[in-house]
Amino acid sequence: MSSRTSNKALGCILFVIRKFVIRRVEFIFCFLPLLLISCGERERSVEENVFYVCSMDPQVMEKQPGMCPICKMPLSKIILTKEDLQGTSIKLNETQIKLANIKTDTVRPQIINEEKTFTGIIAVDENKIQQASARVAGRVEHLYVKNTGEKIETGQVLYDLYSEELISAEKEFLLSLKNKSAFGDNAAGYENMINAAKNKLILWGMSDKQIEQLKSDGEVKTSVPVFSTISGVVTNISVREGEYVDEGKIILEVADLSSLWVEGQLYPDDIQNLKEQTEVEITIPSVSDEKIPGKISFVNPELNTGSKINLIRIELANSKMIYQPGMMAYIMININKKKTLAVPANAVIRGEKSSLVWRQNPDGKFDFSMVTLGIQNKDYTEITSGIKAGNVVVTSGTYLLNSEFIFKKGTDPLTNKNKNMNVNMDMKMDKNMKMK
């Protein structure tokens, strides 16, 4: 009896223990997901301000460690505070400003003009082209100038000519001299014949020195050297040795390269504001970056029928012979000159759809302003809205400031990349701070 009673009591105790354990297990399994979620939220709240960025490409910002997709360098971990994430200004100390080579300038009205650049080609000044032609028909026995590009001088022998007409004129001249000697004082009429024969020799290309030599020798020259009466650089040779030439046949062309043309081709829209005597600047990159001032000397009144382009021409002095026909040139033309609010060109950071400048505030902090651009050249850019006269803008180190802003704020001012992420981060950080 006592044994049966003790077994019953033991069973009751075990039943109670089992019920207690089952309820505790059910309680743990019910609240375990909530505990895990709470821990996960706490873990995420700690890491929301952690980013992984690339030191070479600051626009790359990731939430996980890894490699930069652009330069393939390992991403660096940074922790941004709420102060870093809020606001649009950043502050640099004196050492950072010096290392970044940050320089500033005050915004003020500037005389600015739009600068357009066109390509051109250096060409021979056609007004300085001369031709050496045959003065009498004959055969070219020997040609002394055989290559284009050679430089010739006045008085230099060009070719030897065999001409039956010239031989006959030489004989006539010698016969007139002989008859005058034979008749003495009674041969006054022969003087006119001598002068006529001499003038014919000069007209057909013989020099005074050659005629005096003919008179001295008393012998006819069958092959007569022809001397140049012009000087310059040979641009074209029209005959070869042994070739027969008629009177007036062009032997060669010579150009004076001390003055050249720069010819530019423009479309009709570009030429509307141009006229003769418009001032331009010329740069010849194969020689130097020097800007050569000039004026438009000719604007073609007709369009090229094939390409629908127009031709302008600028005269280029070349006394030192450093420029050559065929060289490429850049023609820079200034139009729309006016006085307006402008900043140095280096102060503007341009994006695909927007532009900005960095300003330095009186408290020493830097912030950016989105601006609208007007006309621009290589030195200055017109600002039509976004800043005003008297503002201090950064002219050197702008891209370093932009990179520093991306590092600290987690967003690119030009594209507003990661802006929504940062707003959500601020909201979560505020929520976590309140919960704490």
Residue ranges covered by each domain of the chain: 1-47, 52-83+421-431, 87-110+338-414, 116-126+257-335, 130-253
The model's confidence at residue 434, banded by pLDDT at 50, 70 and 90, is very low
SS3 378: coil
Q: Which of 430, 304, 408, 428 is nearest to 81 (CA)?
A: 408
Q: Residue 13 above 70 pLDDT?
A: no
The listed CATH number (2.40.420.20, 1.10.600.10, 3.40.50.300, 3.30.379.10) that belongs to domain 87-110+338-414: 2.40.420.20
Q: Which fold has domain 116-126+257-335?
A: Elongation Factor Tu (Ef-tu); domain 3 (2.40.30)
Q: Alpha-carbon distance 419 to 411, whole Å?
A: 6
SS3 302: coil
Same fold flag, 116-126+257-335 and 130-253: no
Q: Alpha-carbon distance 131 to 76, whole Å?
A: 75
CATH of domain 130-253: 2.40.50.100
Average pLDDT, the chain: 80
Q: Residue 400 above 60 pLDDT?
A: yes
User: Which is more confident, 389 or 189?
Assistant: 389
pTM, to two decimals: 0.58
Give the model's pLDDT for residue 285.
Answer: 92
User: Which is more confident, 261 or 113?
Assistant: 261
Which whole number is the average pLDDT over 129-145?
A: 93
Give the model's pLDDT for residue 274.
Answer: 77
Q: Alpha-carbon distance 233 to 230, whole Å?
A: 10
User: What digits encode the pLDDT tens for the residues 74-94?
Assistant: 888 877 666 555 667 888 888
Find out whether 286 and 322 touch, Cβ atoms under 8 Å: no
Q: Alpha-carbon distance 297 to 327, whole Å?
A: 19
